[in-house]
């Protein structure tokens, strides 16, 4: 038993709030496995779920078919505060930590993954500004993001780039009053939407190495391409970003040459966010299929009465539950101050593969109805595949975990993390690798 204590006091100090444990209750689609979230986290999760379920389904069908960015819906979502849930109160956040931010993303993804991707990308941009920005940079760019006045984007992926950020080709040239940026980025979430406020990018500086720069929307020379319309995240404004000699002033985040280390620090948080989204998508797929199996009646009875379908639903339920536990456990460990690079890789791997498997099962259970382009169940498959690629592919996660085997301890962790699932095998800290927080949409 891990009693929950002092969450409201922790919020006042800007500290993240812990999880608590209760006796298991029957699964309802909202709660399962007996994990209680603190009241403050439950409040934002409840608001996000209620708001998302009230949206007209055709909104995202249209977005999928026509590549339309749902700007009004996104602005309304930002006013709920989900984009600032994880950051500390002193920085303008809600102080809910990685657990609170991840839980809100998970609830959102259970209803519509594209919206969760929009928020995740903007929150990741905010995290980089929080980690590396000066007070004046935070006032210019971070505060408006947290107030919901626009969206942020992280522009890392390059057309000819793989998983090695150190090989970045975009370059920054010193100017008397700032820096000129030259380069091209692709598959950038929020870049093709009308709400973009600031782009954080990585560029090579001769003699210093990769550096992070913040580029405000509207900067001369910053060109944003049309929506790319990938197979998933169809309403997330995924597009190209070109830096055509654009001049930025007072825009370098962190010290010269420290951009790569800054991005890699944010990488762990990004993987936890993707794990949370994957867990939410897996849960949402299961909920949709359970409702259909209970309500779909044929000459042979309910769909749920068929043993093959029942087995598929059980497997989906277990996968969603495991994904949620991995995501919450890693987030709680981060909030407790631990190095969680290994746990983040595990959570990202388990949750996104669970999302892909559950999406595949959902299409199977819905049959022909699940194959119509733009329909919610059909979109699940594309959304899940994108999750499996961004923030480092599943293959990259296995490489990270393979390196960690040299340092892995077979001993269970101590009392540092108050969350279920603590008996799972863990590795020691994984070595930081030059992998972008997404080599496809989500960067």
Residues taking part in catalysis: 391
Separation of alpha carbons 202 and 414, rounded Å: 38
Helices H, strands E: what count in the chain?
13, 12
The answer to whether the Cα torsion of 341, 87, 243, 257 is positive or negative is negative
Alpha helices in 67-151 (DSSP H): 71-78, 97-109, 113-132, 135-137, 143-146
CB 128 within 8 A of CB 98: no
- Per the structure block, which two tokens stand in for 349? 């791997």
Half-sphere exposure for 176 (CA within 13 Å, toward CB): 0
Q: What is the b/e burial string over 20-53, where b = at least 16 CB atoms within 10 angstroms of the residue's CB?
A: bbeeeeebeeebbeebebbebbbebbeebbebbe
Q: How far are the Cα atoms of 4, 24, 62, 102, 412 from residue 36, in angstroms, in the given order? A: 9, 10, 36, 14, 23
Cα-Cα end-to-end distance for the chain: 39
Place of tokens 């150190």: 166
Separation of alpha carbons 62 and 104, rounded Å: 25
CB count within 10 Å of CB 408 equals 15
Half-sphere exposure for 279 (CA within 13 Å, toward CB): 32
Q: Which helix (H) or strand (E) holds 268?
A: helix 259-295
DSSP assignments along 196-214, one per residue: EEEEEEEEEETTTEEEEEE
Question: Could you give the 3-state DSSP secondary structure of residue 157?
Answer: coil
Cα of 138 vs its chain's centroid, Å: 22
Phi and psi at residue 177, in whole multiples of 5°? -125, 25
CB count within 10 Å of CB 234 equals 31
Q: What is the b/e burial string over 288-302, where b = at least 16 CB atoms within 10 angstroms of the residue's CB?
A: bbbebbeebeeeeee
CB 133 within 8 A of CB 141: yes
- Per the structure block, which two tokens stand in for 105? 């993303």
């Amino acid at each position: 038993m891990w009693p929950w204590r002092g969450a409201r006091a922790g919020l006042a100090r800007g500290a993240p709030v812990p999880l608590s444990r209760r006796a298991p209750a029957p699964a309802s689609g909202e709660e399962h496995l007996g994990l209680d979230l603190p009241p403050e986290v439950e409040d934002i999760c409840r608001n996000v779920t209620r708001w998302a379920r009230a949206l007209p389904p055709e909104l995202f069908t249209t977005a999928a078919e026509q590549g339309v960015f749902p700007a009004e819906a996104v602005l309304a979502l930002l006013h709920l505060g989900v984009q600032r849930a994880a950051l500390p109160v002193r920085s303008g956040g809600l102080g809910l930590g990685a657990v609170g931010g991840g839980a809100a993303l998970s609830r959102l993804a259970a209803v519509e993954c594209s919206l969760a991707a929009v928020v995740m990308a903007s929150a990741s941009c905010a995290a980089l500004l929080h980690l590396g920005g000066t007070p004046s940079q935070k006032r210019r760019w971070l505060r408006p993001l947290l107030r919901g006045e626009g969206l942020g984007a992280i522009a890392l992926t390059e057309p000819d780039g793989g998983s090695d950020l150190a090989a970045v080709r975009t370059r920054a040239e010193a100017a008397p009053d700032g820096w000129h940026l030259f380069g091209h980025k692709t598959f950038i979430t929020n870049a093709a939407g009308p709400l973009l406020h600031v782009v954080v990018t990585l560029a090579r500086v001769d003699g210093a190495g990769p550096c992070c720069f913040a580029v405000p929307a509207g900067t001369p020379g910053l060109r944003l391409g049309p929506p790319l319309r990938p197979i998933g995240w169809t309403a997330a404004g995924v597009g190209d970003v070109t830096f055509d000699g654009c001049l930025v002033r007072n825009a370098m985040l962190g010290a010269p040459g420290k951009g790569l280390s800054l991005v890699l620090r944010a990488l762990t948080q990004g993987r936890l966010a993707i794990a949370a989204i994957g867990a939410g998508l897996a849960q949402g797929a299961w909920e949709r299929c359970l409702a259909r199996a209970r309500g779909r009646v044929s000459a042979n009875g309910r769909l749920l009465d068929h043993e093959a379908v029942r087995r598929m639903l059980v497997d989906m339920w277990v996968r969603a539950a495991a994904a949620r536990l991995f995501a919450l456990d890693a987030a709680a460990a981060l909030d407790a101050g631990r190095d969680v690079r290994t746990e983040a890789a595990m959570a990202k791997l388990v949750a996104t593969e669970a999302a892909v498997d559950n999406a595949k099962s959902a299409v199977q259970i819905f049959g022909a109805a699940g194959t119509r382009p733009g329909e919610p169940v059909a979109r699940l498959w594309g959304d899940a595949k994108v999750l499996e690629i961004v923030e480092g592919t599943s293959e990259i996660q296995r490489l990270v975990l393979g390196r960690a085997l040299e340092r892995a301890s077979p001993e269970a962790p101590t009392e540092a993390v108050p969350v279920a699932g603590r008996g799972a095998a863990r590795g020691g800290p994984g070595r930081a690798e030059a992998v972008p927080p997404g080599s496809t949409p989500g960067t």
